[in-house]
């Protein structure tokens, strides 16, 4: 029988048979989940020689939940994820029309999943617009609660927007064109520092060389500039022995094996990732910067098709494919399960099962190098053999 994953003193305590809730997802979700689960079970079994096993617990969300229990996001699902702490999900249809809670937003708020983590790396053989795509290997930590995601926005001409404009004009002499729409961008020291701390902890754990704070502090001095200042502060105060600011590392002292803390202005960072990607390793960014950078970086290594993601807080984490449900291919055993499989690898890495994570990534890399791939990659890779979702999973297992 499976046991619960616990979280004590800032660490995961993972039994050999953990219970992990999963949401298979809508559209092509069941196809890719079936393939992913097959890979996870086979790799865990192989790597641990049968000593570890996942006890998967299905929880409902999306169309399946609506059909079975009349609710797109049943409370039982939230309760199960809260109880078992770590979950994985396939893509869900975003229902059109009001009154429906978005699972992602709800989970982010209820479980305080404040870090959206997106690793971006190249797999040999995947077509990329870059000459040396293999030089990009970054893990992006994006703040997930504040900044533009806090959702404080008022429509142009609304009484709320007009009231805010009136207040700012009268109290602070701000110059705002009447009738403007208003968006508010709150960023706190607390929210920024816990995100940067998570990125530094990851860099230390994973043996990564640097953490780069990406901000637009030259223009927005107190929000984006605050992110930079607070980031350096937490590095100094909490990780003083283990980190070194780039300015000091460059003075001939060397980094002494410490994590180098850098910062870059957002626009420059986009250029840097294209021109000198190998100078960056872990990236910590406020919400909007991180959002833009994640997709741009994924495009450099060949697109979003293989991009995994995780939303992580303190003691709770939900991993997911970053693409949607691709409904026109539902039930055809056709689409690429790579994104959800790599999200699983991230999940195992987060839980400390690095051997499983590495083996999954190796298997996926091997399948791509063997050019036995699903239709999306086959149409781009010269000489490739197109295989089904399930056959791709078997090919991954063969290459572990």
Catalytic residues: 149, 216, 267, 291
Measure CA 269 to chain center.
Answer: 19
Q: How far is the CB of 236 from ligand NAP (least distance, A)?
A: 36
Degrees to nearest 5, angle at CA 337 with 334 and 340:
150
Q: Are 282 and 199 in contact (CB under 8 A)?
A: yes
Q: Give me the residues that bind ligand NAP (CB under 6 A), please.
A: 28, 32, 91-94, 305, 320, 323-327, 335-336, 376
Q: Under 8 Å CB-to-CB from 3, ≥6 apart: which residues?
A: 15, 17, 18, 19, 55
Q: Under 8 Å CB-to-CB from 206, ≥6 apart: which residues?
A: 139, 282, 349
**Which residue lies nearer to ligand NAP by CB, 40 or 230?**
40
Q: How far is the CB of 5 from ligand NAP (least distance, A)?
A: 23
Q: How far is the CB of 151 from ligand NAP (least distance, A)?
A: 18
HSE, side-chain direction, 13 A CA sphere, residue 22: 25
Q: How far is the CB of 376 from ligand NAP (least distance, A)?
A: 4
| Sheet with strand 317-321: strands edge to edge | 55-58, 19-23, 86-89, 317-321, 308-312, 115-121, 137-143, 282-285, 210-215, 259-265, 243-245
Q: Are 228 and 213 in contact (CB under 8 A)?
A: yes
**Which residue lies nearer to ligand NAP by CB, 224 or 376?**
376
In angstroms and rounded to an integer, the radius of gyration of the C-alpha atoms of the chain is 22
Map tokens 């219970």 to a residue: 19
Of all residues in the shown chain, the one whose CB is closest to ligand NAP is 324
**Which residue lies nearer to ligand NAP by CB, 28 or 192?**
28
**Which residue lies nearer to ligand NAP by CB, 107 or 326?**
326
**Which residue lies nearer to ligand NAP by CB, 324 or 352?**
324
Q: How far is the CB of 135 from ligand NAP (least distance, A)?
A: 25
């Amino acid at each position: 029988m499976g046991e619960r994953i616990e979280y004590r003193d800032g660490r995961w305590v993972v039994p050999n048979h953990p219970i992990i809730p999963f949401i298979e997802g809508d559209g092509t979700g069941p196809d890719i989940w079936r393939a992913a689960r097959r890979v996870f079970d086979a790799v865990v079994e192989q790597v641990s020689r049968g000593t570890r096993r996942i006890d998967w617990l299905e929880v409902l969300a999306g169309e399946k939940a609506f059909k079975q229990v009349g609710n797109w996001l049943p409370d039982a699902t939230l309760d199960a994820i809260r109880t078992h702490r770590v979950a994985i999900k396939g893509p869900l249809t975003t229902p059109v029309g009001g009154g429906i809670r978005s699972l992602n937003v709800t989970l982010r708020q209820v479980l305080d999943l404040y870090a959206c983590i997106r690793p971006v790396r190249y797999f040999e053989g995947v077509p990329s617009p870059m000459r040396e795509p293999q030089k990009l290997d970054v893990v992006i930590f994006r703040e997930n609660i504040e900044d533009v995601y806090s959702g404080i926005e008022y429509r142009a001409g609304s009484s709320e927007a007009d009231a805010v404009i009136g207040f700012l004009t009268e109290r602070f002499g701000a110059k705002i064109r009447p009738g403007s729409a208003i968006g508010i961008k709150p960023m706190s020291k607390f929210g920024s520092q816990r995100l940067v701390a998570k990125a530094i902890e990851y860099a230390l754990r994973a043996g990564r060389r640097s953490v780069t704070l990406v901000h637009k502090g030259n223009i927005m001095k107190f929000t984006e500039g605050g992110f930079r200042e607070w980031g350096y502060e937490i590095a100094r105060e909490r990780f003083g022995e283990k980190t070194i600011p780039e300015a000091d590392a460059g003075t001939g002292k060397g980094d002494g094996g410490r994590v180098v803390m850098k910062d870059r202005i957002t626009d420059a960072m986009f250029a840097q990732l294209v021109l000198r990607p190998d100078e960056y390793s872990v990236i910590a960014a406020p919400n909007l910067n991180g959002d833009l950078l994640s997709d741009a970086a994924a495009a450099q290594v060949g697109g979003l098709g293989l991009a995994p993601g995780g939303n992580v807080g303190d003691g709770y984490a939900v991993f997911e494919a970053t693409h949607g449900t691709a409904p026109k291919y539902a039930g055809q055993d056709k689409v690429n399960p790579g994104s959800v499989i790599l999200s699983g690898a991230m999940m195992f890495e987060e839980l400390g099962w690095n051997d499983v994570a590495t083996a999954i990534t190796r298997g996926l890399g091997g399948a791509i190098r063997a050019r036995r791939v699903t239709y999306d990659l086959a149409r781009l890779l010269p000489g490739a053999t197109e295989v089904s979702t399930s056959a791709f999973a078997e090919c991954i297992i063969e290459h572990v």
